A and B are shown apart, each in its own frame.
Chain A
Amino acid sequence: MIEVENLQKHFGAKVAVDGVSFTVNKGEVLGFLGPNGAGKSTTMRMVTGFLPATEGRVTIGGADIEDNELEAKSKIGYLPEAAPLYSDMTVEGFLRFSAEMRGVPASELDDAVDKAIETTFLEPVRHQSVDTLSKGYRHRTCFAQSIIHDPEVLILDEPTDGLDPNQKHEVRQLIRRMGEEKAIIFSTHILEEVEAACTRAIIIDRGKVIADGTPDELKARSSNAGSVLLRASGLAGSGIEAELEKLPEARSVSVEESTDDGIVARILPAKGKGKGLGKAVSDLCQTKKLTISELRVEEGRLDELFREITKTDDQD
Chain B
Amino acid sequence: MDALITLLLEFAIPTLVVAGIFVAILKFVLPREVRTIFKRELKSYFTSPIAYVLFIVFLGISNTLSFFFTGVLEGGEADLFLPYFQYLPWYLVLIAPAVGMRLWSEEQRLGTMELLLTMPVAPWHAILGKYLAAAVVLFAMLVLSFPIVWTINYLGDPDNGVIMAGFVATFLVALCFLAVTSVVSALTRSQLVALLVSVTLCLVLWLGGLPNISDLLMNMKGGWLVFWPFLKLINGLGVMPHFTELAKGVLGLRDIIFFLTFIIFCLFATSVAIRLRRA
Q: Which residues of A contact B (CB under 8 A)?
A: 45, 48-52, 69-71, 73-74, 76, 78, 80, 82, 84-89, 97-98, 100-103, 142, 145
A-binding segment of B8-16, B19-27, B32-40, B212-220: B32-40
Partner of B33, one of A71, A82, A101: A101
The answer, yes or no, to whether B111 is at the interface (CB within 8 Å) is yes
Given contacts A74-B120, A101-B36, A102-B120, contact A84 B111 (CB under 8 A): yes
- Please tell me if the beta carbons of A50 and B40 are within 8 angstroms of each other in the complex: no
- Please tell me if the beta carbons of B112 and A73 are within 8 angstroms of each other in the complex: no
Given contacts A45-B114, A84-B111, A103-B120, contact A50 B278 (CB under 8 A): yes
Given contacts A97-B36, A100-B32, contact A84 B110 (CB under 8 A): yes
Residues from chain A with Cβ under 8 Å of B36 in the complex: 97, 100-101
Partner of A80, one of B32, B115, B120: B115
- Please tell me if the beta carbons of A84 and B115 are within 8 angstroms of each other in the complex: yes
- Please tell me if the beta carbons of B110 and A87 are within 8 angstroms of each other in the complex: yes
Report Cα–Cα, A85/B115, bound state, in Å. Answer: 8
Given contacts A73-B118, A103-B120, contact A97 B40 (CB under 8 A): yes
Report Cα–Cα, A45/B111, bound state, in Å. Answer: 13
Given contacts A51-B279, A52-B279, A70-B122, contact A88 B117 (CB under 8 A): no
Report Cα–Cα, A86/B111, bound state, in Å. Answer: 9
Partner of B118, one of A52, A78, A103: A78
- Please tell me if the beta carbons of A86 and B278 are within 8 angstroms of each other in the complex: no
| 8 residue pairs A–B, Cβ–Cβ below 8 Å | A70-B121, A71-B120, A76-B118, A80-B115, A84-B112, A100-B32, A101-B37, A101-B121
- Please tell me if the beta carbons of A88 and B121 are within 8 angstroms of each other in the complex: no
Q: 0/1 per residue, B141-171, Cβ < 8 Å to A? A: 0000000000000000000000000000000
Q: 0/1 per residue, B34-49, Cβ < 8 Å to A? A: 0011001000100110
Residues from chain A with Cβ under 8 Å of B278 in the complex: 50-52
CB distance from A156 to the nearest CB of B (A): 13
Report Cα–Cα, A235/B121, bound state, in Å. Answer: 74
Q: Which B residue sits closest to A52, measured CB to CB?
A: B279
Count the B residues whose beta carbon is within 8 Å of the partner chain — how many? 23
- Please tell me if the beta carbons of A145 and B115 are within 8 angstroms of each other in the complex: yes
Q: Please count the residue pairs between chain A and chain B whose beta carbons lie under 8 angstroms apart in the complex.
A: 69
Given contacts A52-B279, A88-B44, A97-B40, contact A73 B110 (CB under 8 A): no
Those of B95-143 within 8 Å (CB) of chain A: 110-115, 117-122
Given contacts A50-B118, A101-B119, contact A88 B47 (CB under 8 A): yes
Residues from chain A with Cβ under 8 Å of B119 in the complex: 73, 98, 101-102
Residues from chain B with Cβ under 8 Å of A102 in the complex: 119-120
Residues from chain A with Cβ under 8 Å of B37 in the complex: 101
CB distance from B166 to the nearest CB of A (A): 34
- Please tell me if the beta carbons of B117 and A50 are within 8 angstroms of each other in the complex: yes
The 4 closest A-B pairs by CB, nearest first: A84-B111, A74-B120, A73-B120, A48-B118
A sample of 10 more A-B contacts (CB under 8 A), given A52-B278, A86-B44, A145-B115, is A48-B118, A69-B122, A70-B120, A71-B120, A82-B111, A84-B113, A87-B110, A100-B36, A101-B121, A102-B119
Q: Which B residue sits closest to A155, measured CB to CB?
A: B118
Q: Which A residue sits closest to B114, measured CB to CB?
A: A80
Q: Which B residue sits closest to A130, measured CB to CB?
A: B110
Report Cα–Cα, A85/B107, bound state, in Å. Answer: 9
Residues from chain A with Cβ under 8 Å of B113 in the complex: 84
Report Cα–Cα, A62/B115, bound state, in Å. Answer: 22
CB distance from A173 to the nearest CB of B (A): 25
CB distance from B177 to the nearest CB of A (A): 24
Q: Which A residue sits closest to B117, measured CB to CB?
A: A50
Report Cα–Cα, A202/B48, bound state, in Å. Answer: 44
Report Cα–Cα, A52/B44, bound state, in Å. Answer: 30
Report Cα–Cα, A91/B92, bound state, in Å. Answer: 35
Report Cα–Cα, A69/B118, bound state, in Å. Answer: 9
Report Cα–Cα, A100/B121, bound state, in Å. Answer: 11
Partner of A78, one of B48, B111, B115: B115
Report Cα–Cα, A100/B111, bound state, in Å. Answer: 20
Report Cα–Cα, A78/B112, bound state, in Å. Answer: 12
Residues from chain A with Cβ under 8 Å of B117 in the complex: 49-50
Q: Which A residue sits closest to B48, measured CB to CB?
A: A88
Residues from chain A with Cβ under 8 Å of B40 in the complex: 86, 89, 97
Q: Which A residue sits closest to B40, measured CB to CB?
A: A97
Residues from chain B with Cβ under 8 Å of A88 in the complex: 44, 47-48
Given contacts A97-B36, A100-B32, contact A86 B118 (CB under 8 A): no
Report Cα–Cα, A89/B111, bound state, in Å. Answer: 15
- Please tell me if the beta carbons of B44 and A84 are within 8 angstroms of each other in the complex: no
Report Cα–Cα, A69/B48, bound state, in Å. Answer: 33
Partner of A50, one of B110, B114, B120: B114
CB distance from B227 to the nearest CB of A (A): 32
Report Cα–Cα, A70/B123, bound state, in Å. Answer: 10
Report Cα–Cα, A84/B106, bound state, in Å. Answer: 12
Residues from chain B with Cβ under 8 Å of A85 in the complex: 110, 112
Given contacts A52-B278, A100-B32, A101-B121, contact A89 B44 (CB under 8 A): yes
Residues from chain A with Cβ under 8 Å of B112 in the complex: 84-86
Report Cα–Cα, A282/B30, bound state, in Å. Answer: 76
Report Cα–Cα, A102/B116, bound state, in Å. Answer: 10
